[in-house]
Structure 1
Amino acid sequence: MAKSLYKDICDTLRFSKFYESYAQSLSDILSYKYGSLLNPTDKVQDAFIKLWENCAKVTPDSAKSYVYTIANNLMLNEVKHQKVTLNYTKIGQKDYTNESPEFLMRKEQFLQQYKNVLEGLKPEQREAFLLSKVEGKTHKEIAELLGVTKKVVEHRIYGAFNVLKDKLEDFKLK
């Protein structure tokens, strides 16, 4: 075997000629082997990008083998990914629950009553409560947003909790 004049393929002109020589044939091979639905041209591009990123490590003699191996592995990964997504779509979504009809009915009643009680709160209590419990803001952040002190925010949230406990006592809130 003839000894290569170059130790790597990092020269732009050399890399460009290498790409022009092998890109189309590699794309055709992958297309024949795996079909065009898996975008073999994209995998060829990715393989050549990988070659460029590692050009200092790859000798010109092994560059062709390197690119073909990378492209083939990328296609195999895509095939695996397609199988996983296909299996996931076969499973389907769960359209049933293990809860009893009574539980579902009570849950619906509770949510409706909860919404009614929230609507009945004073606007400043509702605002502070929702900022704290729904958006997860701290008392200090809420105070800054509303332009009040932290104690006022705590008082409003505490008041909202008391109203909720009183109005929703059938549901045993803690």
Structure 2
Amino acid sequence: MPKQLHDNICAEHLFSSLFKKYSKDLHDFLYFKFGERLNPSDKVQDAFIKLWENCAKIPPSKAKSFLFTTANNLMLNEAAHQKVVFKHQQIKPKSYTTVTPEFLMQEEEYLKKLEKALSNLTEAQRVAFMMNRVEGKRFKEIAALLDISTKAVEKRIYGALKKLQEDIEGFK
């Protein structure tokens, strides 16, 4: 086997000749395999950049294999990235509306009405209602905590709801 004249491809003229020899074939390979959408020209350039960065490690006989493998991997990575981008484009972000001063004023008035209505409830109704609606406890849990029956908890909460609906219009 004849001894190669160059141990690596860091010599500019050798690297340039590799570029002239393989760049078109590499581009065509990527274009036919992946299409134009993933920009094969950029991946060809990136593959040659990686070849230049590793020129001392890669013998000239392995340069073609390195280029094609690297470029193919770059395209696969780009395709995977595009899938993620497409998936996130499908998810519509929550739309946030701007809060007007009128809305803030109405909210404040409603909260005052709610506080007043809650204070008009009996202590038993208020405790059961708050444990259910604010703390998220179930009727059985409330019954166990207050040492009463589940039916008594239901009666207190439904009584509180009825009273709140009377005191605050639009309360559900």
Same fold (TM over 0.5): yes
Q: Give the Cα–Cα distance (whole angstroms) in 2 for the partners of residues 68 and 16 of structure 1.
A: 17
Q: Which residue of 2 aligns with 1:58?
A: 58
Q: Which residue of 2 aligns with 1:26?
A: 26
Q: Which residue of 1 aligns with 2:104?
A: 108
Q: Which amino acid aligns with 1:63?
A: A
Q: Give the Cα–Cα distance (whole angstroms) in 2 for the partners of residues 111 and 9 of structure 1.
A: 72
Q: Which residue of 2 aligns with 1:6?
A: 6
TM-superposed deviation, 1:93: 1.3
Q: Deviations over 1:42-94 (max 9, x none)?
A: 00001101111110011101111111111111101110110000000111112
Task: Specify whether residues 15 and 105 from structure 1 end up closer, same or farther in structure 2 by C-alpha distance, changes over 3 A only.
Answer: same
Q: Give the Cα–Cα distance (whole angstroms) in 2 for the partners of residues 37 and 110 of structure 1.
A: 52
Task: Specify whether residues 2 and 87 from structure 1 end up closer, same or farther in structure 2 by C-alpha distance, changes over 3 A only.
Answer: farther
Q: Give the Cα–Cα distance (whole angstroms) in 2 for the partners of residues 6 and 111 of structure 1.
A: 79
- Runs of 5+ unmatched residues, structure 2: 109-172
Length, aligned pairs only: 106
Q: Which residue of 1 aligns with 2:86?
A: 86
Q: Give the Cα–Cα distance (whole angstroms) in 2 for the partners of residues 111 and 29 of structure 1.
A: 63
Q: TM-score normalized by structure 1?
A: 0.54
TM-superposed deviation, 1:105: 8.9
Alpha-carbon RMSD: 2.9
Q: Which residue of 1 aligns with 2:156?
A: none
Q: Which amino acid aligns with 2:104?
A: E
Q: Which residue of 1 aligns with 2:155?
A: none
Over the matched positions of the two proteins, sequence identity in percent amounts to 50
Deviating 4+ runs (over 4 angstroms):
104-107
Q: Which residue of 1 aligns with 2:76?
A: 76
- Runs of 5+ unmatched residues, structure 1: 98-103, 113-174
Q: TM-score normalized by structure 2?
A: 0.55
Q: Which residue of 1 aligns with 2:122?
A: none
